[in-house]
Amino acid sequence: MSKKKFKQEKEKKVKKEKAGIRTVLLSFLEEMKGNAYAPDQLIKKLGLKKKELIKDFYRLLDLLEEEGAIEQLSNGSYKSKKRTMPAIAPITGIVDHVNPRFGYVVTGEEGKDVYVTTDDLNTALHGDTVAVALFSKKSGKSKEGKVVEIIKRNRTRFVGKLELSSKYAFVVPDFKKIYQDFFIYPENLNNAKTDDKVVFEVTKWGNGDKAPEAKVVEILGKTGENEAEIHSIMAEFDLPFRFDSNVLSESKQIDHGITKEEIKKRRDFRNVLTFTIDPEDAKDFDDALSFKILDNGNFEIGVHIADVTHYVKPETLLDKDAFDRATSVYLVDRTVPMLPERLSNELCSLRPNEDKLTFAAVFEMNSKAQVVNEWFGRTVIHSDFRFSYEAAQEVIENGKGQFAEELKILNELHHKLRKERFAKGAVNFETTEVKFKLDEKGKPLTVIPKVRKDAHKLIEEFMLLANRAVATYVYKLKKGAEKNTFVYRTHDLPDEQKVLDFATFAKQFGHKVNVEGSSVSRSLNTLMAEIEGTPEQSVLQSLAVRTMAKAKYTTEAKGHFGLAFDHYTHFTSPIRRYPDMMVHRLLQHYLDNGKSVNKKEYEEKCIHSSEREKRAADAERASIKYKQVEFMSLTTTKVFKGIISGVMEFGIFVEIIETKCEGMVRMSDLKDDFYEFDEKNYRVIGRRRKKIYRLGDEVTARVKKTDVDRRQIDLTIEED
């Protein structure tokens, strides 16, 4: 054998030995299940004797540590970073990708959410249904695991901003809980250009360091343009852009339906004073009030609701589409309706001076606002007048104008109903909402806080009365434990620990909250009255709302904590909510002495409706946030007063008092000191100067940067 060949063979042998050592070392440490060993112990365990191999072994340890395969402990020993999984079946859940570093698989069972690092998500994205295998649990540690199977993708289409280079492109998703870009080959661009807002579809899911691949399926417009951004929000939340042509065709074929025969089936209110009170810019009017003074001095008040189910029949295309949408969605510059315009703005809209078919709850009330008689059924009305909230409020305040006496009586009754409700434990949360005045291109000119006055509360109180009465009537129809299946709107008691935490925080401002049983709601009401007009009002109201459970639709006949009602439903808005349509059908079914319907089927419909309601609320918030960011981008030279509305380890959230817009001051922008997060007390503290920024504190802030794509406002705190 030649010298050269001998050398080559020796090098090949050494290389093979090194590769073998790597494999044996990793296998040994993995088998040891987290036990750590010093380098000399490992050399002995692996039987290494040659000096050159021992020398290379130390280099191998450094290399494997850099790769993340092993880790060195503080005592110099090494262990495998590969965690072992116990021999139990994987757990199924939905991914909540909290931040770029980690997420949770939410199982729906209390205390069983599983922590998963982003590297262990196995291409799963936020909202995906996955199977997660648990790592061996160490004492005191929460459950950790790794996604081993994608059971169901939440979605494969997303929205984002396109970035184009000469050879390739990628799209940055708008959705905050997706922390990776998507690669797009030139042939899949569909003529999209840099800075276009696009809808893209995933064609290949990434693996490891490889980015997922996608194709552009629709161009929404240029980033920053109103139409592009609003369409982006609609696409992000999977809201429908338009009605299917077959649905529209079916709606156009519906006959007006107000025949003599139909009127004979109904209670006729066309000669009774009736009017609507709605927002100035409303196009559909789904509720009206009728008013009459009876011979005995009592008042007959009818709450008449558009009879949508007279026109929309079960199993039709219209009904299936309405169920899928489940609710209308109100974005800042448009409505995504549940029903086509033919129904929502024409047939079912209770416009003045037109005969309309309605479903009603009619009450006989005395001067103390006590209901002495009630009736439920189908009616026909003829609205005499259409009030805006502003116009009705003016009549109430001045005592003059159209139907001034009737509005005065209704307003007095509403105050008595409201007082009784709070006396029984209803929670009085009056959070401030905002609306925008937009120019013709959708650009925000001003931010206007919505003000609720008596006219709003009058309508609200009679709608609450009707909803409660319908739910109570159906619940009591059938005696015994087995009740008729019905759609309820329920609201659970707040979590005890959340209320306790809130009470502890409120105490820092000198306010006391009683956390015991039935006194919680009264104590919260007392607090809301105490803080009105104070600097801490906004933050305490916001935190109080967060302590509450979420309201939902269900067939379970539970109560409504927030309203202090034993039974409650949604009967009053069938133009914009599908659960109200279900309630109308079920109520009529039971009025006709029908038997109880399939509970499981209706529970599934309730779950779907609750999910769609959350989607609508999230989309509405996103559109408001977009306009807030856009509005604040025009105010970078202005200094604002704000209230600290949130404190996190990475920054402080500040709500601007004037505009109700919320932005974040990053920790890195607090230059005067190094601030540490005190989670328990909702504050950050400067290490040197001990300066404190606490939830509820008033600060002066300036806009540093706005990001329309991410709908984020960065602020800086201005020193006094």
pLDDT-above-90 percentage for the chain: 56
d(Cα 156, Cα 57) in Å, to the nearest integer? 46
Q: What is the pLDDT of residue 720?
A: 58
Question: How far, in Å, CA of 401 to CA of 398, rounded?
Answer: 8
pLDDT tens by residue, 548-595: 889 999 999 999 998 999 999 999 999 999 999 999 999 999 999 999
Q: How many CB atoms lie within 10 A of CB 359?
A: 26
What pLDDT is stored for residue 671 in this prediction? Answer: 86
pLDDT at 153 over 90: yes
Answer yes or no: are the C-beta atoms of 105 and 130 closer than 8 Å. yes
Is the pLDDT reported for residue 140 higher than 80? no
Q: What is the pLDDT of residue 3?
A: 52
Per-residue pLDDT, 83: 63
* DSSP label of 207: B
CA 219 – CA 63 distance, rounded (Å): 46
At 321 the pLDDT is: 98
Cβ neighbors of 127 (< 8 A, separation 6 or more) are: 94, 95, 154, 155
- Among the listed residues 248, 241, 239, the one whose alpha carbon sits nearest the alpha carbon of residue 340: 248
Nearest to 477 by CA among 582, 372, 588: 588
C-alpha atoms less than 13 angstroms from C-alpha of 141 in its C-beta half-sphere: 11
Per DSSP, which regions of 491-572 are E strands? 552-554
Query: What is the band of 664 on the pLDDT scale with cuts at 50, 70, 90?
Result: very high
For domain 3-80, give the fold.
Answer: Arc Repressor Mutant, subunit A (1.10.10)
Tell me the percentage of the chain whose pLDDT exceeds 70.
Answer: 94
From the candidate CATH numbers 3.30.420.40, 3.30.70.660, 2.90.10.10, 2.40.50.140, the one assigned to the domain spanning 91-152 = 2.40.50.140
- Topology match between the domains 3-80 and 157-223: no
248-252 mean pLDDT: 96
Per residue in 1-44, pLDDT (tens digit) is 555 554 555 555 555 566 667 777 777 777 665 678 888 888 88
Check pLDDT > 80 for residue 611.
yes
Instruction: Check residue 32 and give its pLDDT.
Output: 67
Query: 470, exposed or middle or buried, with CB in 10 Å at 0-12, 13-18, 19+?
Result: buried
Residues 6+ apart with CB under 8 A from 327: 338, 576, 577, 578, 609, 612, 613, 616
Output the pLDDT for position 38: 84
Per-residue confidence band for 231, with pLDDT thresholds at 50, 70 and 90: very high
Residues forming beta bridges with residue 713, ordered by sequence position: 706
E strands within 574-697?
Answer: 639-648, 651-656, 662-666, 675-678, 683-686, 692-694
Average per-residue pLDDT for the chain = 88
Residue 152, pLDDT > 80, answer yes
**Mean pLDDT within 54-59:** 79
With a CB cutoff of 8 Å and minimum separation 6, the contacts of 253 are none
Quick one: average pLDDT of 383-410?
96
> Structural domain boundaries of the chain?
3-80, 91-152, 157-223, 245-490+555-619, 496-548, 635-717
Q: Of 323 and 493, which is predicted with more confidence? A: 323
Average pLDDT over residues 278-302: 93
Residue 222 — very low, low, confident or very high, per pLDDT cuts 50/70/90?
A: very high
Q: Are 60 and 23 in contact (CB under 8 A)?
A: no
CB under 8 Å to 86, separation ≥6 — which residues? 134, 135, 136, 137
Over 70: is that where the pLDDT of 53 sits? yes
- Which distant-in-sequence residues (6+ apart) come within 8 Å of 688 by Cβ? 673, 674
Residue 3 token pair: 């010298």
Taking the mean position of all CA atoms in its chain, how far away is CA 299? 41
Q: Which of 102-116, 182-196, 391-405, 567-581 has the lowest mean pLDDT?
A: 102-116
Rounded Cα distance, 375 and 252, in Å = 33
**Taking 70 as the threshold, does the pLDDT of residue 183 lie above it?**
yes
Predicted pLDDT of residue 457: 95
> Does the predicted TM-score (pTM) go above 0.85?
no
Better pLDDT: 40 or 623: 623
The CATH number given to 157-223 is: 2.40.50.700
pLDDT at 137: 65
The structure tokens listed for 613 are 């309601």
Tell me the fold of 635-717.
OB fold (Dihydrolipoamide Acetyltransferase, E2P) (2.40.50)
What mean pLDDT do residues 242-253 have? 96
> Model confidence at 472, in pLDDT bands (50, 70, 90)?
very high
What pLDDT was estimated at residue 89? 73
Residue reference for tokens 């000119």: 445
What pLDDT, on a 0 to 100 scale, did the predictor assign at position 421?
93
User: With bands split at pLDDT 50, 70 and 90, how would you rate the model's confidence at 668?
Assistant: confident
Which of 326-340, 361-375, 416-430, 515-529 has the lowest average pLDDT? 515-529
Q: Is the pLDDT of residue 139 over 70?
A: no
| Contacts for 414-421: CB closer than 8 Å, 24+ residues apart | 414/454, 414/457, 414/458, 414/461, 414/462, 416/368, 416/369, 417/369, 417/461, 417/462, 417/464, 417/465, 418/457, 418/461, 420/369, 421/461, 421/464, 421/563, 421/564
pLDDT attached to residue 653:
93
Mean pLDDT of 357-378: 98
DSSP 8-state assignment for residue 187: G
**How much is the average pLDDT of 371-378?**
98
pLDDT band at 403 (very low <50, low <70, confident <90, very high): very high
pLDDT at position 6: 43
Between 515 and 683, residue with greater pLDDT: 683
Task: Find the mean pLDDT for residues 304-332.
Answer: 97
Q: What is the mean pLDDT of residues 458-471?
A: 98
